[in-house]
Amino acid sequence: MLTIGNRFPDFKKTVVVSLQPGKEFENMTLGEFVNGKWSVMFWWPKDFTFVCPTEITAFNDHFEDFVKLDANLVGASTDSEFVHLAWRNTHPGLMQLRFPMLADTSKSLAEDLGILDNEEKIAYRATFIVDPTGIIRWVSVNDLAIGRNVKEVLRVLEALQTGALTPCDWEPGQATL
């Protein structure tokens, strides 16, 4: 698995960006993902499941917090863009998503990141924080059955953005070392 200090892999993938007919899909590259900003990509195993929409809606609920931190946010799975779109069209919590859903149907990006489950060939619940130069600065991977904590992702992002040493249990607004 790629980890801290590794360059995030190059990619070109289709993303779902809208529910408006004719404007649902765009292509995204690594350069567009990072674009000189801090960036967060979080992965879930499968669309139309139970834990995944709770995480996706939680990230969406905190979307403005990522905007305030001038960070890009992208969600991803190995499902196709058509499955993503169908899920967004039918799940009330996903209809108003404000970030792209990346489709890694070839599973190549998940494989390059080292987060592809060998048995089921689905992505683990992985979260990557990438700095403005494309270097991975934080990785968190959960078991397939365990949801993550979006507030912790935001806390770590803000800690990384300070560029300083942050003590144990540091919270935004507290002094750094």
Do the domain assignments include residue 7? no
| Residue pLDDT, tens place only, 23-74 | 999 999 999 999 999 999 999 999 999 999 999 999 999 999 999 999 999 9
What's the token pair of residue 28? 């995204």
Among 103, 112, 104, 159, which Cα is nearest to 7's?
112
Catalytic member of 15, 28, 34, 52:
52
| Residue pLDDT, tens place only, 89-115 | 999 999 999 999 999 999 999 999 999
Boundaries of domain holding 80? 12-162
Query: What does the pLDDT read at residue 162?
Result: 97
> How many domains does the structure of the chain reveal?
1
Among 44, 60, 61, 48, which Cα is nearest to 87's?
48
Active site residue 168: no
pTM value is 0.97
Do the domain assignments include residue 2? no
